[in-house]
Amino acid sequence: MQEIKDTDAKPTPPKKPLIFYYIIAMIVVMLLNALLFPSVLERQVTEVPYNEFLDMVDEGQVTEVALSEADEQLVFIAGEDENSLRIYKTGIWPDDGQRLLQQLRSDPNIDFSAEIPTQANPLLSFIVSWVFPIFFFLIIGELLSRFMMKRMNKQMGGGFGNAMTFGKSGAKIYVEESATGVTFADVAGQEEAKESLKEVVDFLHEPGKYADIGARLPKGVLLVGPPGTGKTLLAKAVAGEAHVPFFSISGSEFVEMFVGMGAAKVRDLFKQANEKAPCIVFIDEIDAIGKKRDTGGLGGNDEREQTLNQLLAEMDGFDSGKGVVLLAATNRPESLDPALLRPGRFDRRVPVELPDLNGRKAIFRVHARKVHIQEPVDWDMLARATAGASGAELANIVNEAALRAVRLGRQQVTQADLEESVETVIAGAQRKNAMISAEEKKIVAYHEIGHALVAALQSHSAPVTKITIIPRTSGALGYTMQVDEGNKSLMSRAEILARIATLTGGRSAEELIFGKDNMTTGASNDIEQATKLARAMITRYGMTDEFDMMALETVQNQYLGGDASLTCGAQTAARIDEMVSQTIRQAHEKAYNLLKDHEDQLRRLSDYLLERETITGEEFMKLLQA
């Protein structure tokens, strides 16, 4: 990042100020009025006595006369030069009125008109001739100046446009009156996290009872967990329950192009927080500014590092007794600087993990309150079918079900809508117009029945709940769904081996029915999952006699996919590869032998699936036991 040494330097002003152009515009207006337009201000209305009017008639000065019967006045024009014409008016002498009118009408040199010559209002003439043109030029000049400033702002990367906001935090502020609109009642599936945060709310409500015993409020609470588990929602719920101002800002908003601006934003944020104490400050994705400091040969003079240093200093400086609580969220806690995590800064770490079975049921019910549901709905089955789903994914499932109900012209969401939305989120929407040949469809049917049959013939496999050969938008031509009856947090070695065998069941069925030369590419995802499980058995779970409980790999970013890297030598890595291959090969042989021993059932079930395209787990088990 390039360092800007003189951050106070102002942009070079234009060569001539704008007032110069405004003066030029006024001079142009004056010249136009003087040279091109006749001055209506010279055409003033003058009252003359009746005798003087008669003298002017006799002398032949009157050229145009009009009668105003309502006002009993004559309005006339005298003069020869058009630019020096003057408009007069006079009252009609009662005795001589008729005689005078006849004389004027009979005089060929006088234009006697029924219409009274009009004159523009002097004030209106002044506005039209002077004020309006000046304002017109001023507006044009202002628009041009703004256009030029925008172009200069784009060319300089926003330097001019942001000049007045340097050092401002830009945090969204939810004051007590408007609140965040979220309470703990809107958060489900995170009971342990809610219990930890309720203490913060209680402190903000009754700080006295904590002060009496000598306890102090944690300065910072760090929420860690996978994406979509409700970390931001929990922070808003704390503010909603405490009824205090809530400052919300993302960690990336502190990072600026100019060195020192991030630190200035941190100072401004804490200044605002101290002014509105008690309050809650929430920094989302704090890993954007809180990463471990590593100079890397750059001398440590980095904008991100300066922002972190300022954050550390502010956390040390503010008094927790005022009721300022700092909440932060991240899904990469291992990347944070140790100085940020020490006691006295982020005193409490609250895990916000993926919800368990009861948590998923509670989340479904919370989001179901917002849509019209047709009872009864088996929330337990839906919760078991969505093992490993986050709160955001569960909310999306309910929304997809509502959208499906609208598409089908219904006003309520049914159990079928929810089940289909689960499959849509997991495997993608149905591809109803996909063109698949009869031969490929037959292969897919045997492949999926192979998975289901191997799972059903083993004692440590989850029950099959659905089998389908309808293509999905994710690319799958079919899939077999297995759902555990209860909430599973641990897997035994026997269960992992049974799972690997089930994954190889699709390829085994293809080999058994169509021969090894006709095996297809449909097992690519099965191979990937089986290899991952077999490697984890050896390197992470210590489920081998040869390596026993030796750690052979480390997992980083556990909340973002869990990237693993081996921590062993080349010879050990080669041996691990051999053992992974051997484990998968044994599971493949087991699956092949199971299907060979039950080939008749494999063919019968595959023909039934080919005819129906989709069957439930109950149908599958009845046919298997028949």
Q: Is omega for the bond preceding 227 within 30 degrees of 0, making it cis? A: no
Strand-pairing partners, residue 280, are 246, 325
Q: Give the integer Cα–Cα distance in Å for 161 and 165.
A: 8
Whether the domain at 172-292+302-351 and the domain at 440-625 fall into the same CATH topology: no
Strand ranges (DSSP E) for 540-587?
Answer: 553-556, 563-566
Strand ranges (DSSP E) for 305-458?
Answer: 324-330, 346-351
Is the pLDDT assigned to residue 66 strictly greater than 80? Answer: no
- Please write the tens of the pLDDT for every residue from 185-226: 888 888 888 888 888 888 888 877 887 888 877 888 999 999
Residues 6+ apart with CB under 8 A from 527: 503, 507
Model confidence at 446, in pLDDT bands (50, 70, 90)?
Answer: very high
Which residue's entry shows tokens 């008729």? 98
- Please write the tens of the pLDDT for every residue from 129-164: 666 766 776 777 677 767 766 665 554 444 444 444
Cβ neighbours, 10 Å, residue 521: 6
Cβ neighbours, 10 Å, residue 306: 19
Strand ranges (DSSP E) for 285-343?
Answer: 324-330
Q: Give the integer Cα–Cα distance in Å for 228 and 242.
A: 24
Residues 6+ apart with CB under 8 A from 444: 436, 469, 477, 478, 522
Three-class DSSP category at 71: coil
Cβ 323 vs Cβ 277: under 8 Å: yes
Domain 357-427 fold is Helicase, Ruva Protein; domain 3 (1.10.8)
Write the Ramachandran bin of 246: left for phi over 0, alpha for psi from -120 to 50, otherwise beta.
beta
- Please write the tens of the pLDDT for every residue from 609-618: 999 989 998 8
Is the pLDDT assigned to residue 115 strictly greater than 60? Answer: no
Please, which contacts does 563-571 make with residues 24 or more away whose CB atoms are closer than 8 Å?
Answer: 564/536, 564/539, 564/540, 566/539
Cβ neighbours, 10 Å, residue 197: 25
Cβ 580 vs Cβ 531: under 8 Å: yes
Model pTM score: 0.67
485 classed as catalytic: no
- Please write the tens of the pLDDT for every residue from 539-597: 999 999 898 898 888 887 777 777 778 888 899 999 999 999 999 999 999 999 999 99
Is the pLDDT assigned to residue 43 strictly greater than 60? Answer: no
Q: Give the integer Cα–Cα distance in Å for 253 and 266.
A: 10
Model confidence at 295, in pLDDT bands (50, 70, 90)?
Answer: low
Cβ 265 vs Cβ 314: under 8 Å: no
Three-class DSSP category at 615: strand
* Residue 100 or 530, more confident: 530
Q: What is the pLDDT of residue 574?
A: 93
**What residue spans define the domains of the chain?**
44-118, 172-292+302-351, 357-427, 440-625
Domain 172-292+302-351 fold is Rossmann fold (3.40.50)
Q: What is the pLDDT of residue 202?
A: 85
The amino acid occupying position 352 is V
Give the active site residue among 448, 485, 495, 528.
448
Of all residues in the chain, what percent carry a pLDDT higher than 90? 25
Model confidence at 2, in pLDDT bands (50, 70, 90)?
Answer: very low
Top-tier CATH class for 440-625: mainly alpha
Q: What is the pLDDT of residue 567?
A: 83
In whole angstroms, how far apart are CA 553 and each of 572, 573, 580? 11, 10, 14
Helix axes 524-539, 493-514, angle to 10 degrees: 150
- The structural architecture, per CATH, of the domain 44-118 is 2-Layer Sandwich (3.30)
